[in-house]
Structure 1
Amino acid sequence: MKIVHVLTRLLRAGSEENTLACCLAQARHGHEVLLVHGEEYDPRLRASLTGALRVVTVEKLVNPISPSRDISAFGRLTRLMRDWQPDIVHTHQSKAGIVGRLAAREAHVPGIIHGVHILPFVHVGSGQRLMFLAAERLAARFTRAYIDVSQAMCDICIANHLGSPDQHHVVHSGFDLARFANARWPQEPHLLLGTAAGEPKPPVVLMLAALEPRKRHVEFIEAFGHVVDRIPNVRLLLAGDGPARSDVESAIERSPFANNIRMIGYHSEPERLISLADVCVLTSMREGLPRVMMQYLAGGRASVVSHLPGVEEVVRHGVNGIVTPAEDVGAAAAAVADLLENQHHRARLADGAKRTDLSSWGLESMCESVEQIYQSVLETTLSPARPDKARIRDRLAGQTFGLH
């Protein structure tokens, strides 16, 4: 089977991790996989894919709305798909989801699938909502299937007439569960925390998130003073990288509590950072059901997370985490301070996290489910009315789906 994945950005964030896991699994199982991404990417991440995947950059594919660039990206993607003749085009992220599906339709790709990691019309102004909904409804006309990261994403799509219920499939964003459950502290943790070697570990708060405005690092840094007032030796670790890095650095410089905050950038072993933390936090305003929440749970740590669509599917307030209003970063900071001061409550939440059933978030489960959806979509194209049915049948013949 020939598969094209299209991303707006190739950075170190949840939707990219999800997509790359699928791409690499599909390539290992003998499929021809092409990953296409837009102008914004991490060169080191892209270089790490050399030899494993074919990767193409479409420079005109950008995150902001830009009619001239969007039209150019549409043309480039259409030509690429016509030349490559994929069986499946699987789009991810908002802009790639629209432009990529339009190009796939123009190139007569039989299986057009969109991955719903986030919904662009949620928690935005009314004008943006109408514009994004119109674009999504246009693309929905020729989308064969949706892969939603949570049931809430699925429900919102259906409520807004984006695909029928039978077109939607909930597949959780998988990762290596054992890696997080069995993690140990990083080597030389004092270097990360800015403490002296041999000094007892101070209370540690971890935010593991790409540096993007919607994650609200700046707002949490501004509210973090309330935590320091109550726990003076606390450390806040900000792990991640992204386009808002300079804004986050400036917020730290402005903060009177800058000595309590450590921005460590991208870390290749996030499970070790979670192991080091006493409390983990995520203050996102807008996204799907983020996998980092599950990584906090898999690592067995008490966490404070925003009330995002679908969070209740896994995080139970007061049982395995604390859920605070998405619009209230101050409430998140207060909850973090409460947990740091209450060891018994913190231990009870950590125990609840360890007991959480995360089996549907396993990496193999995710990859197998995605391939089964591909197979189902392609099998429905094998009707006498479709001129490309022989080509698709030939590619399906002898394919083994699933990971065993």
Structure 2
Amino acid sequence: MKDHVMRLAVGSSARGWRVAIACPRDVYPQDSDSSRYLLEAGVKLIPLSLPGRISPHGDLMAWAGLIRILGRLRPRLVHTHGFKASMVGRMAAATFGVSSGYRPVTICTVHNSIAGQFGSGSRAWNLAKLVEKVLARSTDGVIAVSRALEREYLELSHPSAMLVTCIPNGIALERFISVPPGGGGGVRLPSDVEPPGDAGPPGDVEPPGNAKPPGDLGSPGVLKPGRGPVVGTVARLIPQKGVDVLLRAFPLVREAFPGAELVVAGDGPMRSQLQALAGHLGIGARVAFTGHRNDIPALLRTFDVFVLASLSEGMPVSVIEAMASRVPVVATCTGGIPEVVEDGVSGLLVAPSDPGQLARALIWILSHRDEASRLAQNAFEKVTSRFSIDRMVEDTCLFYQEVFRRKAKQAACES
């Protein structure tokens, strides 16, 4: 999400908007590449302490701090991102409007499913729905990053006085297109220190799940010399991302490809738990947990197949990045993923929480390299035409103007 906000801020600044980002200091640390990139683009960074979890005292302090920031800046527009920041930010904007008589236009972007975040039917989910219904009354516009999230939001809040639209995430395509195959992500694979196993491809493998490849599947491709295929994922290590499902699927992949290796790029609170699970499953020596990476474009080009095993999703940037890198994709059929990956056309889709089906999809991709290359090329053509940063920024700025026009029209009717 922080990359999305950064790219949107820089793109909006280039289009004539004066932009300030209020966020915790560790989001864009001082003297980091991201903070320099923002400052050079004319974007102002304002430190704001905002706890990651619900914290009555911390959230109250953030709310008060935002009201002071709004008083200094008096912005025309407040654009919030993510459930927690949107909750505190919209409350602050509404309070500032009442106390000062000047309420900025308020827009929020929905990046994730509330049901996926809090668990459908849980007390937290019911509370989140109630909060959103209340805040919707003082919200002028909502951007959902996928059609699935747009539908969920419309069902949740039943908005009448606001505009709701879908603007998919965009990526900096040139960062991924320019990296050559085998781009040298610098990750230390188990085969770099151990003799590789038998990497030979299996015999005939049935297409998994609902995949609909054409009749002529071609012969299996040639694996990289000296080692088996590399299965990779890029994800935050949290329950929602289903990395445990991928780990449970991987022993089945190893039965078909004994030399196969798994790269898990990303960090999060489940890292030690997932490493322990890999050891318990007997695959610890064949799984590389890389932690956070700053070289994702190069790393992706070392993968033979990219997999995202999420249980719920909004619009996963990692899938779009893999498709832009011409890496075959296997992903779960949840949230906004089917809006990016068309099963059997630009990748393979499987059911969430099904290690067996996930393994069959991965084995099929690794067994039919020519067909996998066709899927990857279709995916590349799709994302390069629909998921650029420029398109996302342009559509967002046009939405800003549309909301302003609607507000002006409403004010004229009321006067």
Q: TM-score, normalised by structure 2?
A: 0.80
3-state SS of paired residue (2:232) = strand
Q: 2:134 aligns with which of 127, 132, 138?
A: 138
The answer (yes or no) to whether the contact 2:28–2:34 under 8 Å persists in 1 is no
The yes-or-no answer on 1:258 pairing with 2:248 is no
The yes-or-no answer on 1:114 pairing with 2:114 is no
3-state SS of paired residue (1:49) = helix
Residues 162, 326 of structure 1: CA spacing in aligned structure 2 closer, same or farther, 3 A cutoff?
farther
Per-residue deviation, 1:133:
0.7
The yes-or-no answer on 1:360 pairing with 2:386 is yes
State how far apart, in whole Å, the 2-side matches of 1:330 and 1:44 are.
45
Q: In structure 1, what is the equivalent of residue 188 of structure 2?
A: 192
Residues 32, 355 of structure 1: CA spacing in aligned structure 2 closer, same or farther, 3 A cutoff?
closer
State how far apart, in whole Å, the 1-side matches of 2:360 and 2:31 are.
36
Per-residue deviation, 1:156:
1.6
The answer (yes or no) to whether the contact 1:121–1:130 under 8 Å persists in 2 is no
Residues 48, 262 of structure 1: CA spacing in aligned structure 2 closer, same or farther, 3 A cutoff?
same
Per-residue deviation, 1:316:
1.2
Residues 43, 384 of structure 1: CA spacing in aligned structure 2 closer, same or farther, 3 A cutoff?
closer
Write out aligned runs for 1:121-132 (5 A): 121-122=115-116, 124-126=119-121, 127-132=123-128
Q: In structure 1, what is the equivalent of residue 333 of structure 2?
A: 307
Once the two structures are superposed, residues 156-206 of structure 1 have per-residue CA deviations (whole angstroms, 9 ceiling, x without a partner) of 211223434971121111112243234214665675324349963430111
3-state SS of paired residue (1:184) = coil
The yes-or-no answer on 1:223 pairing with 2:249 is yes
For 1:376, the aligned partner's letter is E
Q: In structure 1, what is the equivalent of residue 76 of structure 2?
A: 87
Q: In structure 1, what is the equivalent of residue 159 of structure 2?
A: 163
Residues 385, 349 of structure 1: CA spacing in aligned structure 2 closer, same or farther, 3 A cutoff?
closer
Residues 220, 36 of structure 1: CA spacing in aligned structure 2 closer, same or farther, 3 A cutoff?
same
Q: 2:171 aligns with which of 175, 178, 188?
A: 175
The answer (yes or no) to whether the contact 1:121–1:132 under 8 Å persists in 2 is no
3-state SS of paired residue (2:72) = helix
Q: In structure 1, what is the equivalent of residue 54 of structure 2?
A: 65
Per-residue deviation, 1:17:
1.6
State how far apart, in whole Å, the 1-side matches of 2:410 and 2:339 are.
42
State how far apart, in whole Å, the 2-side matches of 1:85 and 1:253 are.
55
The yes-or-no answer on 1:148 pairing with 2:144 is yes
Q: In structure 1, what is the equivalent of residue 221 of structure 2?
A: none
State how far apart, in whole Å, the 2-side matches of 1:210 and 1:44 are.
23
3-state SS of paired residue (2:138) = coil
The answer (yes or no) to whether the contact 2:140–2:162 under 8 Å persists in 1 is no
Write out aligned runs for 1:210-359 (5 A): 210-356=236-382, 358-359=384-385
Once the two structures are superposed, residues 252-279 of structure 1 have per-residue CA deviations (whole angstroms, 9 ceiling, x without a partner) of 4544211211122233332222222111
Per-residue deviation, 1:364:
0.7
Per-residue deviation, 1:69:
2.3
Could you tell which deviates more after superposition, 43-52 or 136-145?
43-52
Residues 37, 254 of structure 1: CA spacing in aligned structure 2 closer, same or farther, 3 A cutoff?
farther
Once the two structures are superposed, residues 112-167 of structure 1 have per-residue CA deviations (whole angstroms, 9 ceiling, x without a partner) of 00001112234714122211110111111111111111122112211223434971
Residues 39, 178 of structure 1: CA spacing in aligned structure 2 closer, same or farther, 3 A cutoff?
closer
Larger Rg: 2
Aligned length: 372
Per-residue deviation, 1:223:
3.1
State how far apart, in whole Å, the 1-side matches of 2:96 and 2:186 are.
55
Structure 1, unpaired ranges of 5+: 1-14, 390-404
For 2:137, the aligned partner's letter is R
Q: In structure 2, what is the equivalent of residue 203 of structure 1?
A: 229
For 2:286, the aligned partner's letter is N
The yes-or-no answer on 1:35 pairing with 2:39 is no
For 2:111, the aligned partner's letter is H
Structure 2, unpaired ranges of 5+: 98-102, 194-223
Could you tell which deviates more after superposition, 100-109 or 119-128?
119-128
Aligned sequence identity (%): 26
Once the two structures are superposed, residues 232-289 of structure 1 have per-residue CA deviations (whole angstroms, 9 ceiling, x without a partner) of 1111111223343343444445442112111222333322222221111001112202
3-state SS of paired residue (2:143) = strand
State how far apart, in whole Å, the 2-side matches of 1:75 and 1:357 are.
41
Q: In structure 1, what is the equivalent of residue 197 of structure 2?
A: none
State how far apart, in whole Å, the 2-side matches of 1:314 and 1:77 are.
36
3-state SS of paired residue (1:17) = helix
The yes-or-no answer on 1:18 pairing with 2:4 is yes
Any runs of at least 4 consecutive aligned residues in structure 1 with deviations exceeding 6 A, and if so which?
A: none
Could you tell which deviates more after superposition, 368-377 or 139-148?
368-377
For 1:140, the aligned partner's letter is A
The yes-or-no answer on 1:100 pairing with 2:86 is no
Could you tell which deviates more after superposition, 365-374 or 320-329?
320-329
Residues 164, 248 of structure 1: CA spacing in aligned structure 2 closer, same or farther, 3 A cutoff?
farther
Residues 285, 42 of structure 1: CA spacing in aligned structure 2 closer, same or farther, 3 A cutoff?
farther
Residues 32, 289 of structure 1: CA spacing in aligned structure 2 closer, same or farther, 3 A cutoff?
same
Q: TM-score, normalised by structure 1?
A: 0.82
State how far apart, in whole Å, the 2-side matches of 1:239 and 1:223 are.
17
Could you tell which deviates more after superposition, 248-257 or 17-26?
248-257
For 2:237, the aligned partner's letter is L
For 2:154, the aligned partner's letter is I
State how far apart, in whole Å, the 2-side matches of 1:211 and 1:235 are.
18
The answer (yes or no) to whether the contact 2:187–2:290 under 8 Å persists in 1 is no
Q: 1:54 aligns with which of 31, 35, 44?
A: 44
Q: How well do the aligned residues superpose, as a CA RMSD in angstroms?
A: 2.9
Residues 275, 258 of structure 1: CA spacing in aligned structure 2 closer, same or farther, 3 A cutoff?
same
